Structure 1
Amino acid sequence: MISFKMLYLKYFPYNPRPFQDELMDRIFMSNIMLCEAPTGSGKSIASLCSFLADKKEEEKIVVLTRTKSQADIYLGEIKKISEKIKKTISAVHLVSKQEICPKLKYSDITYEEFNQLCRVSECEYRDRNDCPYIKLQKKLPRAEVIVASYNYLLYPPLRDYFLDRAETTLENLMVIVDEAHNLLNLDILGRKIKEKTVKLAEKELKERIPLRRIFKGEDSMIDISGWIEPEEIRYLYEMGTEILKEKKISFTFRTACFFLNAYKLRYNENFMIYRQNGEIFLKPIFPSKLIEPLIYCKKLLLMSATLSPIEGYATLYELEKAEVYSMPNLFPKENRRYLVIRSGLNTRLESRDAMLWKKYAKTIEEIYKSTPRITLVFFPSYEILKEVHSFVNFNVFIEPKENKELKTLIEKIKNEKKALLFAVCGGKLSEGVEFTIDGSSIVKTIVIAGLPFPVPNFELELKRELYDRKFGYGRGYFFLHVLPMVNKTLQATGRAIRSANDRAVVVFLDDRLEHYRYFPQEIREELELVEIEKIREKVEEFHKTYA
């Protein structure tokens, strides 16, 4: 492969790590690329340098992230690049208007309510051209790099708005989709409404709302045109706005916004409106249809530490012609061990009872006894976590449900010489959280207490039928059950080894061995089958070796 080192190393502010040259070469050469690169490989800085080396003056780099912490990583790297080249790279972090508004400080209102209040309220900041959001938007046309949330380019109504404000076109964009495995979970672009919201709207209006009847009935798809008239939505919107002006919160306005969005998207074949458990949902169906407009960008890079099996994601995202690259694990093989029980435990629905939870608790206790520092246990759900916890005889730290409690918990854990921590796959502790002191991980054993398959429901069955129709019989199960399970598991197992000096053992307490073939080659090749009675001995042996 021809190397373009001189072009991208001009921007690179560090000494390249193993494989980073190859990664930057591939990114530079590719128009569309799916990239799996492990934690600690420096994929963020590599992607930025490759894009900057290929960027023309009129083009913009757009980095799509899901969380503020991920956005901060890119903004920090851009600052380092600017220092390296001794020239400021113009970068804008595009946050929502609600986050930076100095006037409307209402934490319990929706974004739609905030936006409407902003439109109809008098504002001294806007009057004197001092609104932070307007100032931010004015920077977009001149920005070389824009860091924003997924919604700005993936949600159809927002994409045109973004392009207009940035004074650009898709063809002049170079797009990085960070943590691209998140596109599996289309809830981030979906909406829902409860009947309770409409009841509260009726209370505000002191009259019955006809569309409330939509909540009655069995779980099913809904043709919104047969239930709602545009005049009804308009009436609710106008009345809700008046209530909003007075009370700063309006369930009538929330009701109007949901059904207005549903009505606008009623002919969009990639959105489905359905009733499930007495709630109404509006959700995308295929992630590929959200990504599809981005193939017209100059460059498109979707990357994550967990895109296994990467060919599956290429098919699901309908990017079969894209460059596909899986970067090898950079950390020493001897620093890790993967163990899986041969038989005796799994969290199949039909297996769940008190005896099972008691057996899980006993096995986890044995692993905890043989582990120094922190044992981090991930369960498929909060419900299973609670069941197992009721049989554990040790003090256990439990993942909080509120984000505000997370920082306090992590600090407590760091002060413990030995601790047992229970968390949930796909929860707050499985992604973007560091259990490190002076750069070294304090998590020494990760336990996957049951493979985190999604619980079957009407939505999954509905989507599975649509996926089978599109991709072929049986593929729906793979895309909707297997891929999310593998991804959540890999996110959880990645919490332990964060640098080349970290050592940890990962224990899979689920004997459904047929599913481990979908895991990365590293795990498949290193996975050691162990009798459940020998688990403690194997964990102890690993930790004694590196004591």
Structure 2
Amino acid sequence: MLRLNDLFPYNSYRKAQLAIISAIQSTEKRTLLIDAETGTGKTVAVLSGVLSGHQDSERIIIFTKMLGQMDVWYRELGQINDNRRKLNYRPLSMIPLVGRHHLCPLVSKVTKQQFSQIGCSLFNCKATRVFYKQKQRFENLEALTAHLIAEITSYIQTGISLSEILWLINHNLSDYGCPYLVLQAALKQADIIITTYPFLIRTFLRELLMDRSTVLLPKTTMIIDEAHNLAKGNIANLTFRIVDKAIEEVGTHQLLQALVNLRDSKKVLHSFNPDSDLLEDLKMKGEKYLKARFKLGNTETSATLQVVQFLADADIAYLSIDRRYALYLKDPRKLLEPVKGSKQLILLSGTFRPLTQFAHFLGVPEGKKIPVISEVLRKNRIILTTSDPELSMKYKERTKERYLYFGKTIKQLTPHIPGHILVFTPNYEIATIFANLLETNYLEHPNQEIIKLINAVEGSNEKAIVVAPARGKISEGIEFVRDEKSVISSVIVAGLPYPPPSPSFLEIIERYSKFWGREQAINYMSYLQAAIAIRQCLGRMIRSENDRGAWIILDNRITNMDIFPRVIKCKDTETIIQRLQHFFTEE
């Protein structure tokens, strides 16, 4: 029998890690919500805690928002597996369930997006036939699966990443034909399956996952990483231009015309459940268009298929229309309903404060709530707020004079910050204004190729001030790293990013008031959304326990929000400067 010390791959536990492991082991409740800051070592703690009570017949499924977030899970499982090998215990398998376009060797950078829309029919591919021929060499599918699992598990060692796993599968298992089918076959016997949110949220994909992996919920632990991303209500967006372009591609279609008619109506919120036959017909037309363009050498994706993907979840959502189409869940409390029968449901985030509100939003108010504070970050990070009455970004107070005052304040702070600085604003328009005021060219634009901006900042030897909107690309998970160390010394949130009070947003609040009550609906859709956006912005600074920096929130309304432990409240800019000077001169 493995002891916990055998499972934990490091020499000692941090206090925060022990708290997480103990909570997983001791709770009588099936649902846990864990708020653990960056630097707590939460990933390995969760894995160790879950595995300490894991039986061979049980499964673990991990959901991440993005593929890149799988790396930390592979890295920690690699450490655990190396430890198990030393102790002569069987290493554990973790199979990534990813889209075909991430695996197919025929796909290039140029054709990747087209392939993600249409799949194998884009090429004359023989790999599927090769896979089924290889399958016939084995006595049964179980024998093939066991062989594939053993091969993939051998790759999971210290330092491994998702990209390396996919590369090894493509090159070392090429004799088996289609790498996507290889992974599909391996799902049935995998100890751990790791995939992305669509396989949790979208009904079709979730049922596909459960069917292919033969998962039994009572014997499965579900782990949802960065689970704060689920507490938004909004699950999809589509621009008006995409619908217009779809009409240009395939001509008039009943579904496309319906979207245009809704856009032209005065009503801003709709229950729009497209007929499945019409949706399939639109999909076929989009695929036909894409294939024809591909044969002519065109590499653009199909707007028609983007519309089809958007409408796939319309049956569980309201369709809102303001400056774009958006889908909002009809009842966010039901999002996790299909997985509540799991052996254990663990919602994990570094942005989960206030826990009680997140629990109610996601329909798990009875879940056990575990707040964990990093002892490392106590020394590595300072959180500064202001009560300056002139520093507020309320909609009615957004004037030229107010913007100038914000710009002046930030300019007063920057000389006292040694490295690069990220400045986040409520939207793109204000970001552009602030970039001009701060005289910086490092500005995130809509539809920008963000990698160029990242490379420019990481390569700059002079202090860079980067201005970006909250909920933009940079705030959603971008890292600025050089030599495995963050180059960001401070993140400044210049104005709290409350959602704009658009007509459809106000209508959504009215609908949600029917089951939450008006006060709570406003709270969850306004305050909670701002809290999520703020924490996401601030998370761009410290990406490891060796990083150091200052979080600065320039909006006096922050004093009414309970989202940070160990915050230092400053009465004015001069006090912030004094705190910065002391912090950055400390050893």
Counterpart of 1:17 (choices 14, 18, 26) is: 14
CA offset digits 1:77-113 (Å, max 9, x no partner): 11111100103211111111122223354244384x3
In the alignment, what sits opposite 2:140?
none
In the alignment, what sits opposite 1:27?
24
Deviation at 1:7, TM superposition (A): 3.4
1:405 aligns with 2:402: no
Counterpart of 1:101 (choices 81, 86, 104) is: 104
CA offset digits 1:175-222 (Å, max 9, x no partner): 1100111112344x4253636535543554488975443432124233
Q: Which moved more, 1:92-101 or 1:199-208?
A: 199-208
Give, in whole Å, the separation in 1 of the partners of 2:479 and 2:179.
32
Amino acid at match of 2:125: C
In the alignment, what sits opposite 1:536?
577
Q: Which moved more, 1:294-303 or 1:381-390?
A: 381-390
Indicate conservation of the 8 Å contact 2:253/2:282, yes or no: no
Deviation at 1:364, TM superposition (A): 0.8
CA offset digits 1:430-486 (Å, max 9, x no partner): 354444555655433332211111112233212211222211221112111111211
Indicate conservation of the 8 Å contact 2:20/2:49, yes or no: no
Note the 1:346-425 alignment, pairs <5 A. Answer: 346-393=392-439, 395-399=440-444, 401-413=448-460, 415-416=461-462, 418-425=463-470
Deviation at 1:39, TM superposition (A): 0.7
Amino acid at match of 1:381: N
Indicate conservation of the 8 Å contact 2:225/2:347, yes or no: yes
Give, in whole Å, the separation in 2 of the partners of 1:301 and 1:520.
22
In the alignment, what sits opposite 2:3?
7
The 1:70/1:474 distance shift into structure 2, 3 A limit, reads same
Counterpart of 1:478 (choices 523, 526, 532) is: 523
Counterpart of 1:220 (choices 250, 258, 268) is: 268
The 1:57/1:463 distance shift into structure 2, 3 A limit, reads same
The 1:195/1:150 distance shift into structure 2, 3 A limit, reads same
Deviation at 1:38, TM superposition (A): 1.2
Indicate conservation of the 8 Å contact 2:93/2:190, yes or no: yes
The 1:332/1:144 distance shift into structure 2, 3 A limit, reads closer
The 1:404/1:163 distance shift into structure 2, 3 A limit, reads same
Give, in whole Å, the separation in 2 of the partners of 1:305 and 1:61.
21
Note the 1:263-342 alignment, pairs <5 A. Answer: 266=315, 270-277=316-323, 279-331=324-376, 333=378, 335=380, 336-342=382-388
Deviation at 1:253, TM superposition (A): 5.0
Q: Secondary structure at the match of 1:448?
A: strand
The 1:520/1:319 distance shift into structure 2, 3 A limit, reads same
Q: Secondary structure at the match of 1:63?
A: strand
In the alignment, what sits opposite 2:59?
60
Q: Which moved more, 1:319-328 or 1:421-430?
A: 421-430
In the alignment, what sits opposite 2:138?
none
Give, in whole Å, the separation in 1 of the partners of 2:304 and 2:376.
55
The 1:206/1:499 distance shift into structure 2, 3 A limit, reads closer
Residue-pair matches, total: 522
Amino acid at match of 2:33: L
Q: Secondary structure at the match of 1:320?
A: coil
Q: Which structure 1 segments of 5+ residues have no match?
A: none
Give, in whole Å, the separation in 2 of the partners of 1:332 and 1:107.
40
Give, in whole Å, the separation in 1 of the partners of 2:395 and 2:422.
24
In the alignment, what sits opposite 1:46?
45
Q: Which moved more, 1:57-66 or 1:13-22?
A: 13-22
Indicate conservation of the 8 Å contact 2:60/2:221, yes or no: yes
Indicate conservation of the 8 Å contact 1:331/1:499, yes or no: no
The 1:200/1:312 distance shift into structure 2, 3 A limit, reads closer
CA offset digits 1:222-253 (Å, max 9, x no partner): 3446xx66665454444444334322455555
Indicate conservation of the 8 Å contact 2:35/2:351, yes or no: yes
Give, in whole Å, the separation in 2 of the partners of 1:241 and 1:214.
25
The 1:293/1:256 distance shift into structure 2, 3 A limit, reads closer
Q: Which moved more, 1:353-362 or 1:373-382?
A: 373-382
Deviation at 1:72, TM superposition (A): 0.8
Q: Secondary structure at the match of 1:430?
A: helix
Deviation at 1:537, TM superposition (A): 4.2
CA offset digits 1:314-372 (Å, max 9, x no partner): 11112122111101231364652524143211111111122222111111111012222
Amino acid at match of 1:114: I
Amino acid at match of 2:36: A
Amino acid at match of 1:546: E
In the alignment, what sits opposite 2:297?
none
CA offset digits 1:150-190 (Å, max 9, x no partner): 11122212111111111222222211100111112344x42
Q: Secondary structure at the match of 1:375?
A: strand
Indicate conservation of the 8 Å contact 2:424/2:467, yes or no: yes
Give, in whole Å, the separation in 1 of the partners of 2:421 and 2:336.
38
In the alignment, what sits opposite 2:139?
none
1:344 aligns with 2:348: no
In the alignment, what sits opposite 2:494?
449
Give, in whole Å, the separation in 2 of the partners of 1:241 and 1:97.
16
Indicate conservation of the 8 Å contact 2:218/2:343, yes or no: yes
Amino acid at match of 1:540: Q
The 1:275/1:495 distance shift into structure 2, 3 A limit, reads closer
Give, in whole Å, the separation in 2 of the partners of 1:72 and 1:334.
26
% identity of equivalent residues: 25
Deviation at 1:507, TM superposition (A): 2.4
Deviation at 1:26, TM superposition (A): 0.9
Give, in whole Å, the separation in 2 of the partners of 1:280 and 1:152.
23
Indicate conservation of the 8 Å contact 1:193/1:255, yes or no: no
Q: TM-score, normalised to structure 1's length?
A: 0.86
Amino acid at match of 2:209: F
Q: Which structure 2 segments of 5+ residues have no match?
A: 132-176, 295-300
Q: Which moved more, 1:336-345 or 1:207-216?
A: 207-216
Give, in whole Å, the separation in 1 of the partners of 2:383 and 2:122.
60
Counterpart of 2:551 (choices 506, 512, 516) is: 506
In the alignment, what sits opposite 1:522?
566
Indicate conservation of the 8 Å contact 2:227/2:349, yes or no: yes
Give, in whole Å, the separation in 2 of the partners of 1:529 and 1:256.
50
Q: Secondary structure at the match of 2:181?
A: helix
Give, in whole Å, the separation in 2 of the partners of 1:493 and 1:120.
42
Give, in whole Å, the separation in 2 of the partners of 1:503 and 1:306.
19
Give, in whole Å, the separation in 1 of the partners of 2:284 and 2:548.
60
Deviation at 1:502, TM superposition (A): 4.8
User: What is the RMSD computed on CA atoms of the aligned residues?
Assistant: 2.9
